[in-house]
A = this chain, B = another copy of it.
Amino acid sequence: MNIRSIAEQARAVSSACARLTSEQKNQALLAMADALDKNRDQIASANQQDMAQAKEKGLPSNLIDRLAFGSSKIDSRIESLRKIAALPDPVGQEFWHREIAHGMKAKRMRVPLGVILMIYEARPHVSVNAGAFCLKSGNASILRGGSEARSCNELLGRLWQESISSQGIPAEAIQLIAGSHQDINELLQQNDCIDLVIPRGGHRLIENVVANSRIPVIKHFTGQCHLYVDDKADLNKAIDVALDSKCLMPEVCNAMEVTLVSKARLEELPALARAFTDAGVQIKGDKQVCERVPEASEASPEDWTEEHLGKVVTLGVVDGIEAAINHINTYGSHHTDSIVTDDPTRAQEFVNRVDSGVVLVNASTMFCDGESLGMGAEIGISTDRIHARGPMGLEELTTYKFVIEGDGNTMSNPREFTQ
Contacts and interface: CB of A to CB of B under 8 A. Distances in A.
Interface stretch (A56-64, A146-154, A289-297, A385-393): A385-393
A352 interface: yes
A363 B411 CA distance: 9
Contacts of A389: 399-402
Nearest to A217: B216
A407 B244 contact: no
Interface in A205-255: 210-211, 214, 216-218, 234, 236-237, 239-241, 243-244, 247-248
Interface stretch (A41-49, A96-104, A128-136): A96-104
A22 to B, nearest CB: 14
Contacts of A218: 386
Contact of A405 (B362, B399, B418): B362
Contacts of A92: 352
A32 interface: no
Given A402-B359, A404-B361, A406-B361, A411 B214 contact: no
Contacts of A407: 237, 362
List the number of copies, as a whole number. 2
B279 A418 contact: yes
Contact of A360 (B15, B195, B374, B406): B406
A185 interface: no
For A195, A247, A409, A414, the residue with the greatest tally of chain B CB atoms inside 10 Å of its CB is A414
A368 B113 contact: no
B373 A411 contact: no
A347 interface: yes
A191 interface: yes
Contacts of A340: 408
Contacts of A367: 100-101, 104, 404, 406, 409, 411
A340 to B, nearest CB: 7
Nearest to A408: B237
A278 interface: yes
Contacts of A240: 408, 410, 414-415
Contacts of A100: 367, 372-374
A402 B216 contact: no
A390 B411 contact: no
Contacts of A237: 407-408
B386 A386 contact: yes
A366 B411 CA distance: 7
Given A106-B374, A407-B362, A414-B244, A210 B239 contact: no
Given A101-B372, A372-B100, A114 B361 contact: no
B410 A364 contact: yes
Contacts of A15: 329, 355
A196 interface: yes
11 contacts: A104-B363, A109-B351, A113-B386, A191-B210, A240-B414, A243-B418, A247-B412, A359-B402, A361-B403, A363-B406, A364-B406
* 7 tightest Cβ-Cβ pairs between the two chains A and B: A237-B408, A363-B406, A244-B410, A279-B417, A240-B414, A366-B411, A387-B387
Given A234-B408, A368-B404, 20 more contacts: A92-B352, A100-B372, A100-B373, A100-B374, A106-B374, A196-B385, A216-B217, A239-B418, A244-B417, A248-B411, A278-B417, A358-B401, A358-B403, A359-B402, A360-B406, A362-B405, A363-B408, A364-B411, A366-B412, A367-B404
